Structure 1
């Protein structure tokens, strides 16, 4: 079979979680049931392919025939560069597309090793009291804001401040500079090509200034660690690599979690049976977070990979040079690997591994996954413990377990 659509769906295709035409799960569910490979967004002039089913997507993310570096594949176009260009990142900052996500093999391993110690389980566990402290302070503010019965929007009051504070403290971004980072990262989900050039240049300038500051006065943060590696063995980490890595870590280190927290809160508030289970059995929280990542994860597809040769995926040929994406959302709701995937079940057994590909898989598995899970667990658990009468300000029925941007999440705290 030499197509990118595969067989058509049958009438017994499982219904998507929301069932409505506007739900992202509906569109991705249809793609998955139409075939194992589907046409994807046009990050390049050739478009892209999405591997739609769980097992295939998981295999693709570890298949060495799918490269992350477009320059190493004949006929491939740099999809990551295309994404940045579409968002409005100016040409003079095109080097930012040369991130960890666009590296392969020993080159990728070299860079990843330099930052992986920052996200070890031990280091993340040591951050738990700080995450709890930050959350507690924000919940105090929420209690005051909602004391008179007025709705409180959880996104600006809780979901964004927790992860941006934590990742900026880890990296070493000064408190007075974090507002700019928050505004910049917001453009990754609500693109504004007019605003992006100015903001992205300001962010890179801040990074350069931070590197210079840590050379003059080291601190216990990631920037200092990277500076020391560069200065002691300059051929291991270039200045451009430092800038790109810090750029990636801060933006990726909070944006996903900032969307996962409110989506998860909304999902639990609109499914009282699931929230009741967590309140009755708090030990379920770690398992529940995996289920929330599976169903509420805000990232629908992986970053681009490139077929180094013709590859067949479940009978569908993907030509060499193609831009290929792993369908994270479509795979996580694949009925071939779990029963009733459309349901949020905080008691769901994950089996081997995590039971989802919300954080990717293989060598490019999300560096900050453990931190994201911890922040989500600590924040949500504290929120529901602090406000036992918490409810949605506007009850529109079950939430869509998708990744679309939430302009607000208004709740009543008493």
Structure 2
């Protein structure tokens, strides 16, 4: 045998080392310092950046009272009762086979949007509607929409009246959706459906650049994982941070529009619009909301004034349009919108504590239509007129018959 090879083998086996030396080498091997600095920097900096972006996106401002919004939301059994009342009101109007101008105005005067949100949110414990699953809740919300659209352009009234008379209980209401949908051209959009286009506008770039941004994030993730598992050098960590910062530039651009796809988004967008208008918002309080056709409104109490924020529907999303300010008067009126079919909508906002109990709508031909208003209740209502450029007058009266100006 080769004596040199034998000596090398013995040396590799550690036979030439003392027990103390072997123990020392083993301890040095076990306690060898690891390169944790690059990994630590990567995780801390990346987490900090994403946390900062999250706070920017979810900025809600300070001093804005959302309690009114929560208190006014339909909950549980109240939503079921309100739904049945609305169905019975609709059924009573169409049961004679003819819809009068007074009945039409009375039904369309109130908004069903908040009730629709209640049924859409049946999965949310804040609403807790035991009679409806999430899927059923969406169906009931759609029914409210189709009843309203049908009232605008009624067709085959006897057929619809028969279907409504047969659906007596709450659990049978879902059967009415296909009945009404057959006579309505408009499609119902839930709050989630409205939110999707708003989310797609978050990257304020075209589709090509969106793909590039996603690829850069994927590359950044790959670098970070490689850095963690292979303990690469500090310059790779810095490269990761650079990629994250470069792609996050697109997040820092302000959104060009304020959206209102649900009550919370409506409230926050209204507050931001008021701030941008230079008004103080420390004591701003959300009062109520309503949707009429392609217009959505929020009534905000701001110190001694009331503000009505308007949002217009474009590309299936409601975007901020304008503000109307009311100083020391009980009603905001004069908001005039035109539907696609030529019908006009006259919107009114009544403030809390108003003395109005009745409204009178008068046409150019001398005919009048009266409608009752709940005294003191803050509400947004609308009068649907048969066509644009209709000459009309609108007066409000208190319980003593006096005109409220």
Higher relative contact order (CA 8 A, sep 6+): 1
TM-score range, shorter-chain basis?
Answer: under 0.3
Q: Which structure carries more strand by proportion?
A: 2
TM-score normalised by structure 1 residue count: 0.23
Q: Which structure carries more helix by proportion?
A: 1
